[in-house]
Amino acid sequence: MSTFVVVGGDAAGMSAASKAKRDDPNLDVVVFEKGEWVSYGACGLPYYIKGEIQSLESLVSVTPEEFREERDIDLRTGHEVVEVDPEKQTVTARGPDGEIVQPYDSLLLATGAAAVTPPIDGLDREGVFTLGSMSDGADLREYVSRARLEDELMQPDRGPACQFLETCRGPVGVVGGGYIGVEMAEALAANDFEVHLFQRGDRILKSFSEATSQSVLDHLGEQDIAVHLGASVKELAGGDRVEAVVTTDERVPVDMVLVGTGVDPRTDLAEDAGVELGETGAIATDAYRETNVPDVYAAGDCAEATHVVTGEPAYVPLALTANRHGRAIGKTVAGLPTEGGGVAGTAAIKAFEVEAARTGVLNHAEAREAGFEPLTETITAKSRAGYYPEGGTVQVTLTIDEPSGRILGGSLVSEYGEGAVHRSHALVGAVTEGVAVDELSNYDLAYAPPFNTTWDPVLTAAKVVDGQR
Amino acid sequence: MSTFVVVGGDAAGMSAASKAKRDDPNLDVVVFEKGEWVSYGACGLPYYIKGEIQSLESLVSVTPEEFREERDIDLRTGHEVVEVDPEKQTVTARGPDGEIVQPYDSLLLATGAAAVTPPIDGLDREGVFTLGSMSDGADLREYVSRARLEDELMQPDRGPACQFLETCRGPVGVVGGGYIGVEMAEALAANDFEVHLFQRGDRILKSFSEATSQSVLDHLGEQDIAVHLGASVKELAGGDRVEAVVTTDERVPVDMVLVGTGVDPRTDLAEDAGVELGETGAIATDAYRETNVPDVYAAGDCAEATHVVTGEPAYVPLALTANRHGRAIGKTVAGLPTEGGGVAGTAAIKAFEVEAARTGVLNHAEAREAGFEPLTETITAKSRAGYYPEGGTVQVTLTIDEPSGRILGGSLVSEYGEGAVHRSHALVGAVTEGVAVDELSNYDLAYAPPFNTTWDPVLTAAKVVDGQR
């Protein structure tokens, strides 16, 4: 009987464990998870903090009990793996009852990622949060709930300075204008906080097209989010508690700060075991997600994947890739070698009342490095037939390789519900299959007046950029 | 100076005329249209009749004046072309001032389609409508408006038999369960008519998957549409006015009937000129939409196109293909030979509070005829993250070629707004590019909790059908 050991009980780890056990019930599957939560939807945390989701438990797709009892997986929560010995094929885990040494035939490292610690003073002050784990989510929700409760309690005793204000609470700061920053700006604003968002660069959502970034930025302005662009945050100043965000240019008083400046892959355990990292800093693997160490796999937010456009390793730590690669490893370990596919760098976001998605390569420097000659065009088109009573606009950016016409990347934004995100499905296929823009413009996409104009905005964008070649 | 003559002023004709003139301003472009309306969105007629669109004019995307004055196109409405002489390269048109003979260098036949006349007695009775033209739309709107007005006027004088009824109006019949039939059922029900829909076969929307058809059928039932399946309509009985729909099984009293049993290509003019039809009965063309007669093109609802899955000619008279092929012909005629691409048989529909789309080959007999070994699976999945406060379900049917895994077709249905139609974009790309289902299941589709589960329903369907091989 063979043993498959998994380190890390979230998306990649539990997908692999479940699939391996399902496809080969004779396999012993052991999962070590250092925390108490497994298989949770961290992507849902902003909506929990916002108050749209009532319990942390509802973010869990499968409970530890279900893994243990229904899926027959030896899931050991509260166990941190401290060493991997590839010679002896064992892992050492530290749990409530001390250390155990567990032999493996196959091993998956699914150790995830940790919030980046940016070079900012005062990160350890009270009132400074990150959002990486379920307990981070619980802390933030508690902060928001307490503030709301205080609002209610303070109401009758409001001082004269407060009486014309909606709330006596001070403003809050969000450092970082990526997915987490923007989603948390929405979650906090929905709870009546005055939100200041600090972004180091000259635009938010920098993996999206410039046009998409600008559209979302404009919308954040409409929603009264104070976005500070080009803001280099030096310090989160205060005493025990944070009192202000200090940049090179200004000092903005705040009661709380969320720091969301990206994640780094957790690779210590792998490195100690002689597992090689790639140039992105994450664990390098082959197409089957196997590392340089035989029978040791890596997947999820700790590992690289191959970009479908550049063919080069990329680090895109997102949920679907973790699930997909975990599942592929599960099949491989159960006896059917399976490639998990590449990444297109696809991402989607809802920001207040707009939605946006991006896929492929949009950045011209990246495109040139991969040997392309990039050309980018952006169009704005109606989201439904012009005469249809509902509807808005969809803005589509396409980046192509000018000589070949190959679609390298796309970015879309629309009002929420007007389909930017689902329409991006067409572009994911195009970048994955290496479709040229004139081919795409001939696609027989679905049309009916409640859903688009005769030429879907994606087709209009293809026609326009094709015309610029 | 060269002359491009177009017969028919709707989607294909006006797209070709506009593109040709734009790309080669020296070209003389003459369009003959027998009616008064050009470039109108017939797809919008059901929403006009429903009352969601207030004027027929709003369905017109470009007015005759704009074509004439801004686009410099010699548009002659009220002119019916009665003969094409390919030897002399002339067309003869009959207009208000008699016949004119117009020479051409290139000719486009964009004569469209006409409502099928089914073998039913009584089609000429008053109160029997079809929906093919703008004037059909006007007639139906008038009928609906008059009924609503009568409701209001009758209110105080209602007889005792009427006083507990919502309306004194009788029920209405819709013959045909395709797009027009279903959309008109919605339009009529929204105006408080009791609607009986008669479908000859055993399911509505028969080009969609059986599962999609059933889902929409169930929904029509929830909306109190009386759907009569397997109903072979023999007669629309009555005196001057229609009084009942008579099938082989029953007699259903009605005040009005809409007949929507499909369309046939208008090919008389082409046939008379020696232009060959294909096996579908529509005009045959090459990849540039040129017919067997040199310099004579055909596009839109009168012409065939090549199916991207079977590689065989297909007759799919829909708006996007007409626009796309018209535009390609315009480019060709202006000097840049351009293929307009094939058709995937993609279609979308809104039916009350559900939306559905289909693409490719779903029918097993058709698939076998094209040399495939079809396998079909249907899954139902959540449309958004399970914990997200909004959302519904998406049902996805995939038909694949079992040996190769190639995706042949797909059909999707969801609640309106839950993205079945825009998600179908992914499947259009897959059937067009000949993608295998295991490849599709590895697509890096956009994910965020407000838009889907981590595995979009399209990916889940791909995984499931791949697992059945």
**Interface predicted TM-score (ipTM):** 0.96
**A71-102: b or e for each residue (b if 16 or more CB lie within 10 Å)?**
eebbbbbebebeebebeebbbebbeeeeebeb
CA distances from B386 to A70, B137, B214 (A): 20, 43, 24
Which of A424, A446, A450 is the closest to B446 by Cβ?
A424
Which of B419, B441, B444 is the closest to A428 by Cβ?
B444
Contact A446 B357 (CB under 8 A): yes
Spatial neighbors of B137 by CB under 8 A, at least 6 apart, are: B42, B45, B48, B49, B56, B59, B131
Q: Check residue A67 and give its pLDDT.
A: 97
For A140-170, the three-class secondary structure string (H helix, E strand, C coil) is HHHHHHHHHHHHHHHHHHCCHHHCCCCCCCC
Nearest C-alpha of chain B: how many angstroms from A387?
A: 6
Q: Give the residue on A whose Cα is nearest the Cα of B452.
A: A422
- Cβ atoms within 10 A of the Cβ of B409, count? 28
Which of B43, B448, B449 is the closest to A449 by Cβ?
B43
Q: Check residue B165 and give its pLDDT.
A: 47
Amino acid, single-letter form, for residue A204: I
Provide the percentage of residues in chain B whose pLDDT is more than 90.
93
The residue count for chain A: 469
Contact A320 B455 (CB under 8 A): yes
Strand partners, A426: none
Find out whether B453 and B386 touch, Cβ atoms under 8 Å. Answer: yes
Q: Check residue A152 and give its pLDDT.
A: 76
- Cβ atoms within 10 A of the Cβ of A114, count? 15
Q: Is B43 a catalytic residue?
A: yes
Nearest C-alpha of chain B: how many angstroms from A212?
A: 15
- Three-state secondary-structure class, residue A427: helix
- Cβ atoms within 10 A of the Cβ of B153, count? 9
Q: How far apart are CA B364 and CA A352, in angstroms?
A: 45
CA A9 to chain centre: 17
Which of A342, A426, A444 is the closest to B426 by Cβ?
A426
Q: Among A43, A162, A168, A302, which one carries the catalytic annotation?
A: A43
Q: How far apart are CA B300 and CA B309, in angstroms?
A: 20
Q: How far apart are CA A225 and CA A183, in angstroms?
A: 12
Which of A339, A425, A454 is the closest to B446 by Cβ?
A425
CA B351 to chain centre: 14
Spatial neighbors of B301 by CB under 8 A, at least 6 apart, are: B12, B112, B113, B263, B265, B266, B317, B322
- Three-state secondary-structure class, residue A298: strand
Nearest C-alpha of chain A: how many angstroms from B332?
A: 15
Q: Check residue A405 and give its pLDDT.
A: 98
Sheet containing B3-7, strands listed edge to edge, beginning at the edge strand earlier in sequence: B74-77, B28-33, B3-7, B106-109, B296-298
Question: Which positions in chain B touch A432 (Cβ < 8 Å)?
Answer: 439, 443-444
Question: Which positions in chain A touch B433 (Cβ < 8 Å)?
Answer: 429, 433, 435
The residue count for chain B: 469
Q: Give the residue on B whose Cα is nearest the Cα of A179.
A: B448
Q: Give the residue on B whose Cα is nearest the Cα of A467.
A: B23
Contact B426 A425 (CB under 8 A): yes
Q: Check residue B20 and give its pLDDT.
A: 98
Structural tokens at position A439:
């081919």
Regions in chain B scoring below 70 on pLDDT? 154-168
Q: Check residue B168 and give its pLDDT.
A: 59
Q: How far apart are CA A217 and CA A214, in angstroms?
A: 5
Residue indicated by tokens 């005769």 = A454
Q: How far apart are CA B110 and CA B14, in angstroms?
A: 9
Nearest C-alpha of chain A: how many angstroms from B445?
A: 6
**Tens-level pLDDT at each residue, chain A (469 residues):** 899 999 999 999 999 999 999 999 999 999 999 999 999 888 999 999 999 999 999 999 899 999 999 999 999 999 999 999 999 999 999 999 999 999 999 999 999 999 999 999 999 999 999 998 999 999 999 999 999 888 777 665 555 444 444 456 889 999 999 999 999 999 999 999 999 999 999 999 999 999 999 999 999 999 999 999 999 999 999 999 999 999 999 999 999 999 999 999 999 999 999 999 999 999 999 999 999 999 999 999 999 999 999 999 999 999 999 999 999 999 999 999 999 999 999 999 999 999 999 999 999 999 999 999 999 999 999 999 999 999 999 999 999 999 999 999 999 999 999 999 999 999 999 999 999 999 999 999 999 999 999 999 999 999 999 999 8
Question: Alpha helices of A346-416 — where are they, by DSSP H?
Answer: 364-369
Nearest to A19 by CA among A222, A429, A322: A322
Mutate to test the interface with A, among B327, B388, B445, B455 (most CBs of A within 10 A): B445
Q: Check residue B158 and give its pLDDT.
A: 53
Spatial neighbors of A131 by CB under 8 A, at least 6 apart, are: A45, A46, A49, A115, A137, A140, A180, A184, A258, A260
Mutate to test the interface with A, among B310, B422, B453 (most CBs of A within 10 A): B422
Domains of chain A (ranges plus CATH)? 3-111+269-333 (3.50.50.60), 128-261 (3.50.50.60), 353-467 (3.50.50.60)
**B239-273: b or e for each residue (b if 16 or more CB lie within 10 Å)?**
eeebbbbbbeeeebebbbbbbbbebbbbbebbeeb
For chain B, the three-class secondary structure string (H helix, E strand, C coil) is CCEEEEECCCHHHHHHHHHHHHHCCCCEEEEEECCCCCCECHHHHHHHHHCCCCCHHHHECCCHHHHHHHCCCEEEECCEEEEEECCCCEEEEEECCEEEEEECCEEEECCCEEECCCCCECCCCECEECCCCHHHHHHHHHHHHHHHHHHHHHHHHCCCCCCCCCCCCCCEEEECCCHHHHHHHHHHHCCCCCEEEEECCCCCCCCCCHHHHHHHHHHHHHCCCEEEECCCEEEEEECCEEEEEEECCCEEECCEEEECCCEEECCHHHHHCCCCECCCCCECCCCCCECCCCCEEECCCCECEEECCCCCEECCCCHHHHHHHHHHHHHHHCCCCCCCCCECCCEEEEECCEEEEEEECCCHHHHHHCCCCEEEEEEEEECCCCCCCCCCEEEEEEEEECCCCEEEEEEEEEECCCCHHHHHHHHHHHHHHCCEHHHHHCCCCCCCCCCCCCCCHHHHHHHHHHHCC
Q: Check residue A165 and give its pLDDT.
A: 47
The rounded radius of gyration (Å) of the Cα atoms in chain B is: 24
Mutate to test the interface with A, among B321, B388, B406, B443 (most CBs of A within 10 A): B443
Q: Give the residue on A whose Cα is nearest the Cα of B425.
A: A426
Nearest C-alpha of chain A: how many angstroms from B111?
A: 19
Q: Check residue B328 and give its pLDDT.
A: 98
Q: Give the residue on A whose Cα is nearest the Cα of B40.
A: A387
Mutate to test the interface with B, among A58, A445, A455, A460 (most CBs of B within 10 A): A445
Question: Which positions in chain B touch A433 (Cβ < 8 Å)?
Answer: 429, 433, 435
Q: Check residue B154 and give its pLDDT.
A: 67
CA B368 to chain centre: 26
Contact B385 A43 (CB under 8 A): yes
Nearest C-alpha of chain A: how many angstroms from B273?
A: 30
Contact A448 B349 (CB under 8 A): yes
- Three-state secondary-structure class, residue A58: helix
Burial class (CB within 10 angstroms; exposed 0-12, middle 13-18, buried 19+) of B385:
buried
